[in-house]
Chain A
Amino acid sequence: MKKYEKYIRYRTFPTPWCPGCGDGVVLKSIAMAFSELDVDPNDIIVVAGIGCSGRMPTFFNTNTLHTTHGRALTFATGIKLAKPEKLVVVISGDGDSLAIGGNHLIHAARRNIGIKMILINNGVYGMTGGQVSPLTPQKFITETTPYGNIEPKFHASELLIAARATFVARETVNRTVQLKNVIKKSFNHKGFSVVETISNCHVNLGRKNKMKNPVDMTKWIGSRTVTKEQYDKMTPEERNHKYPVGILKEDKNRYEYADLYHKHIIPAAKEAAAKNGTGKK
């Protein structure tokens, strides 16, 4: 048994994912990050919403919580505030976190609560059979855009930077070592962190867009990714249809929410109570 396998709950296998799905890569990368950081499984909670990504917590041999569509972050917020010392990981898909859960996403980022989010971006609603998501590229054919998608997509990482997230990284399921390393780094970040992971849904998105097997689709993902260093040097024309990957933002100076509450608000309130004599008797 490999070291990271202690974080895998084999009893609940098989996974519901299609052969070749990128979710498996993410599952293993997270388990390896846990293992390399040597976190006690009892000190970890993995929370997810609904969708293919939503099923992932079931397969971690840690505390796990499968919640409602788009709202995993709200549950995680309650957990992190109640137990600030625990490693609270949220796994979410692009439809889950940017459509139905968009409001919770920007507020968790703004609040800088120490939740570690893995945002799996496969550009489609996979579990429901392949409908357009807020991250589906324009012109793509999906089950609900049979004549091509006319909506522009969100740039998830850039949106999160604008929402004042303190750790934002983008990786792809092609770059497994980098993905595992950046997840590990995000787990060590104090505030809210998000790793946008570009993944392949060849079954429900690729198939309708001339990329019916995982190799075609991961190649397509690879053709669009450049490192942040390369991206910064590119002209606007060259940047068209390219994503920068790597750590896009890291701010270690801002306080984490639960930390602020427990180390600032509670002492301040207790002090005020002692002064006014209105505290607990």
Chain B
Amino acid sequence: MNRRKVLQGNIIVAKAAIAAGCNFFAGYPITPSSEVAQYMSKEFPKLGHDFIQMEDEIASLGACIGASLSGKKVLTATSGPGFSLMQEHLGMAVMAEIPLVIVNVMRGGPSTGIPTKPAQADIMQARWGTHGDHPIIALYPAFADEIFSETVRAFNLSEKFWTPVILLLDEVIAKAHEDLEIPHKKDIPIYKEAVHKIKDLNIYDREIGENPPRVDFFKGYPIHIDGLEHDSHGWPTSDPKIADKMQNLRMQKIYNHLDEIIEYKEYYMDDAEIMVFSFGVSARSALCAVKKARKQGIKVGLFQPLTIWPFPKRELQERFKKIKKILTVEMNMGQTKYEIERVAPDDVEKRTMLRANGIPFTPREVQSAIEEFIK
């Protein structure tokens, strides 16, 4: 069988999710992500999987959490305004430690914004959208093959760390049809979750830093899952000592495993004197620009994070030992800019290319900025 196909980005997400074992989808139509739901509504019943269109995005994520707790691998897809509505249940999923994947095909904002144009506008919403302190994993592919691999990785990370994972996509990448060689089944890594030995219903009982095994309903134990702060049984508590421990459990299950979570790509970075930091569609323009600048003899490289949250702080700081110029290229008014300022030492010169009018940067524009920077 010919595994090479021309596929739309949204469809690649759907196909990769199915390959990763996803068997439940609840969603609500929204441009520019609706194709994911449409594809699932057609393909899922053929596989005996569940699809439901809910009454809004809040309900969609609620249904996803319910299904996840019933043993399903779940996915929902939305865009900025829908992602705003989902924040309430995203917090619930973080608090109750529920594996699920949310695809956010970003579009211009705030509010209804520019529905049919791209924007890298929800990077901070992905990080801090829901209330309360929480860790989050957000992945950000730029190329067709990365959409596939990062979707699979999103499911694996969510299962491994018992956490919601956000997959950020740019409108143009989700809508564009691109050439993709679909990986063979045996080459798709699927995380096999550990079997949890329940002792006395202590479902959240573990050491700080340990990543938890998954527990579902209907396994013969009367477990309780709560959005309130809870003890190791899941039962509500406001005991400061327990609350302290639970906060740390949720934080450290992510922050103690950064090596397993953070992934990135580097291009021409070995001898680079300027680093371009960019992701999604902007990284595609940036890569093109870097290649052209290299032909002119400019020592420039591209750092493209695939894991945008947690932020690749250590990896960047390692590179700042040698590279003293960084150009951040993003389609927003400056969101990761602040993260770069936070992690880069003072002796690193920082410049930005920011734009949020719906038009992606062209390679030529990025190239000009690089040429300007080297002067």
Please tell me if A9 contacts chain B, counting CB pairs below 8 Å: yes
Q: How far does the alpha carbon of A55 sit from the alpha carbon of B235 in the complex, in Å? A: 10
A-B interface pairs (CB < 8 A), number: 143
Q: Name the B residues within 8 Å of A65 (CB-CB).
A: 66, 69, 217, 224-226
Q: How far does the alpha carbon of A215 sit from the alpha carbon of B52 in the complex, in Å? A: 46
Does more than half of chain B's interface fall in helix, strand or loop, or is it mixed?
mixed
Please tell me if B48 contacts chain A, counting CB pairs below 8 Å: yes
- Report yes or no: B62 in contact with A71, Cβ–Cβ below 8 A: yes
Q: Name the A residues within 8 Å of B236 (CB-CB).
A: 55, 58, 66
Please tell me if B220 contacts chain A, counting CB pairs below 8 Å: yes
- Report yes or no: A63 in contact with B218, Cβ–Cβ below 8 A: yes
Q: Name the A residues within 8 Å of B92 (CB-CB).
A: 67-68
Q: How far does the alpha carbon of A43 sit from the alpha carbon of B221 in the complex, in Å? A: 10
- Report yes or no: B217 in contact with A74, Cβ–Cβ below 8 A: no
- Please choose the segment from A121-129, A149-157, A233-241, A261-269 that sits at the chain B interface, where 4 or more of its residues have CB less than 8 A away: A261-269
B65 to chain A, nearest CB (A): 6
Please tell me if A97 contacts chain B, counting CB pairs below 8 Å: no
Q: Name the A residues within 8 Å of B71 (CB-CB).
A: 82-83
Q: How far does the alpha carbon of A71 sit from the alpha carbon of B55 in the complex, in Å? A: 11
Q: How far does the alpha carbon of A188 sit from the alpha carbon of B259 in the complex, in Å? A: 51
- Report yes or no: A269 in contact with B46, Cβ–Cβ below 8 A: yes
Please tell me if B24 contacts chain A, counting CB pairs below 8 Å: yes
- Report yes or no: B218 in contact with A74, Cβ–Cβ below 8 A: no
Does more than half of chain A's interface fall in helix, strand or loop, or is it mixed?
helix
Q: A1-35: which have CB < 8 Å to B? A: 9, 12
Q: Name the A residues within 8 Å of B67 (CB-CB).
A: 78-79, 81-82
- Report yes or no: A266 in contact with B59, Cβ–Cβ below 8 A: no
- Report yes or no: B55 in contact with A103, Cβ–Cβ below 8 A: yes
Return the chain A residue nearest B71 by Cβ.
A82
Q: How far does the alpha carbon of A76 sit from the alpha carbon of B63 in the complex, in Å? A: 7
Please tell me if B64 contacts chain A, counting CB pairs below 8 Å: yes
- Report yes or no: A68 in contact with B227, Cβ–Cβ below 8 A: yes
Q: How far does the alpha carbon of A104 sit from the alpha carbon of B218 in the complex, in Å? A: 25
- Report yes or no: A71 in contact with B70, Cβ–Cβ below 8 A: no
- Report yes or no: B45 in contact with A66, Cβ–Cβ below 8 A: no
- Report yes or no: A79 in contact with B70, Cβ–Cβ below 8 A: yes
Q: Name the B residues within 8 Å of A58 (CB-CB).
A: 224, 226, 235-236
Q: How far does the alpha carbon of A35 sit from the alpha carbon of B134 in the complex, in Å? A: 40
- Report yes or no: B69 in contact with A79, Cβ–Cβ below 8 A: yes
- Report yes or no: A78 in contact with B222, Cβ–Cβ below 8 A: no
Please tell me if B316 contacts chain A, counting CB pairs below 8 Å: no
Return the chain A residue nearest B44 by Cβ.
A269
Please tell me if B56 contacts chain A, counting CB pairs below 8 Å: yes
Q: How large is the interface on A (under 10, 10 to 19, 20 to 34, 35 or more residues)?
A: 35 or more
Please tell me if A75 contacts chain B, counting CB pairs below 8 Å: yes
Return the chain A residue nearest B225 by Cβ.
A65
- Report yes or no: B218 in contact with A75, Cβ–Cβ below 8 A: no
Q: A61-B222, A63-B218, A81-B67 are in contact. Are A74 and B59 (CB under 8 A)?
A: yes
Most-contacted residue by chain B among A64, A66, A272 (CB, 10 A):
A66
Interface string of A235-273 (1 = CB under 8 A from B): 000000000000000000000000001000110111011
- Report yes or no: B224 in contact with A57, Cβ–Cβ below 8 A: yes
Please tell me if A218 contacts chain B, counting CB pairs below 8 Å: no
Q: How far does the alpha carbon of A266 sit from the alpha carbon of B224 in the complex, in Å? A: 32
- Report yes or no: B70 in contact with A270, Cβ–Cβ below 8 A: no
- Report yes or no: B47 in contact with A74, Cβ–Cβ below 8 A: no
Please tell me if B72 contacts chain A, counting CB pairs below 8 Å: yes
Q: Which of A63, A73, A104 contacts B217 (CB 8 A)?
A: A63
Q: B88-117: which have CB < 8 Å to A? A: 88-89, 92
A281 to chain B, nearest CB (A): 8
Q: Name the B residues within 8 Å of A86 (CB-CB).
A: 218
Q: Name the A residues within 8 Å of B198 (CB-CB).
A: none
Q: How far does the alpha carbon of A266 sit from the alpha carbon of B51 in the complex, in Å? A: 10
- Report yes or no: A78 in contact with B47, Cβ–Cβ below 8 A: no
Top 5 closest A-B pairs, CB basis? A74-B62, A78-B66, A269-B45, A78-B63, A82-B70
What are 15 residue pairs bridging A and B, where the CB atoms are less than 8 Å apart in the complex?
Answer: A9-B224, A68-B89, A68-B227, A74-B54, A75-B62, A75-B66, A78-B52, A78-B65, A79-B67, A80-B66, A83-B217, A104-B62, A269-B42, A270-B46, A279-B46
10 A-B pairs besides A78-B26, A79-B67, A278-B46 with CB distance below 8 A are A55-B236, A58-B236, A66-B228, A71-B89, A74-B63, A78-B66, A81-B52, A82-B24, A103-B56, A265-B45
